[in-house]
Amino acid sequence: MVASVPEFPISRADCAYTSCYCEENVWWLCKAAVDRGLGNRSFAVFVSNTHQTIPLWRQQRAAEPAAAVVWDYHVLFVLKTQTGTFVYDLDSTLPFPCPLEDYYDLAINPEGIATRLRPNYRRLFRIIAASTFVSHFASNRSHMRRKDGTWSAPPPSYPPIVSNEGKTSMNLDSYRMMDSVSVSALDSASNVFGLVVSEDAMVNFFYNGPNMQVAVLKGSAGSSNPPSE
C-alpha cells in the first residue's frame, strides 16, 4: 500500500472534496501539484465515451465490493514520478494514491474485462496537463441544476472555478464530451482540452511519455453482458 509520494505528500484528508463534483476535486489536486512545481508531470484525466456510460470498479458508491459503478464521466488525477505513475481517485476504495498498474488492474480492467465490454461501455480518456487544466478549466455548475433550479447534488461551499483568462464561466462539456477522437501532441499550445485516447493508448502514454504521438483507436466490440451498478 502506498501511503504517499514524496514529491507530492498529500492525503485524502488534505484534499478538497465534494461528492459528484470530481472535475473540481481534481482541479484542486492539479493546482496543488502546479504550486509544487509538478505541473509538467501531473495530469487531469477525464474518462467517458460517446454514450456517457463508463464502468469503473472499486468505487465507494458501488452496491457491493465486486460491482462496478457506471458513471456518465469521471475524472482522475495522475502523477508521474521517478519511482512510478500514481492515480489519485477520491471516489475509489483503493489506496490514495494508487500505482497506475494496480489501479488499471483493479478499477479499469479487472480480470481482463475491458476486451469483453459492449461498445457503449468502452472507455475513452482525455488527458490534460495539470498546468493547462488549472489555467483553462471553468465550471458554473449549471450541469448539476435540475429543470426546477434545484441541485441534483449539493455544490461545493467555495465559489465556482473560472478560467484564468476570465473568458468563460463554463467549459466542462469541452472536457467531458468525447464525441470525436483526436490525435495531437499534448503539449501543443492550441490543445487546451488535451488529448483523447483509447484505453491501451492511455496506458502507453503514461509509460512512454507525454510528448509522443498516439495512434487513437476506438476499441472493438465485445460480447459480454455490460456491468451493472
- Nearest Cα neighbor of 214 from 125, 104, 137, 133 is 125
Please pick, among 14, 15, 22, 51, the residue that the annotation labels catalytic.
Answer: 22
Please pick, among 14, 15, 35, 89, the residue that the annotation labels catalytic.
Answer: 89
12-208: in CATH 3.10.620.10: yes
Rounded to whole angstroms, the Cα distance separating 30 from 201 reads 22
pLDDT band, very low/low/confident/very high, at 219 (cuts 50, 70, 90): very low
Query: Which three cell numbers mark 166?
Result: 476570465
Spatial CB neighbours of 150, under 8 Å, sequence gap ≥ 6 = none
Q: Which amino acid is at 195?
A: L
Q: Are 182 and 216 in contact (CB under 8 A)?
A: yes
Catalytic, 22? Answer: yes
Query: Which three cell numbers mark 228?
Result: 451493472
Lowest mean pLDDT among 34-43, 70-79, 101-110, 213-222: 213-222
The more confident residue out of 20 and 164 is: 20
Rounded average pLDDT over 80-87: 93
Return the domain boundaries, the chain.
12-208
Rounded to whole angstroms, the Cα distance separating 26 from 34 reads 12
Tell me if residue 32 falls in helix, strand or coil: helix
> Is pLDDT above 80 for 73?
yes
Catalytic, 74? Answer: yes
Please pick, among 74, 91, 98, 136, the residue that the annotation labels catalytic.
Answer: 74
Q: Are 81 and 38 in contact (CB under 8 A)?
A: no
pTM attached to this predicted model = 0.87
Catalytic, 102? Answer: no
Tell me if residue 145 falls in helix, strand or coil: strand
pLDDT band, very low/low/confident/very high, at 1 (cuts 50, 70, 90): low
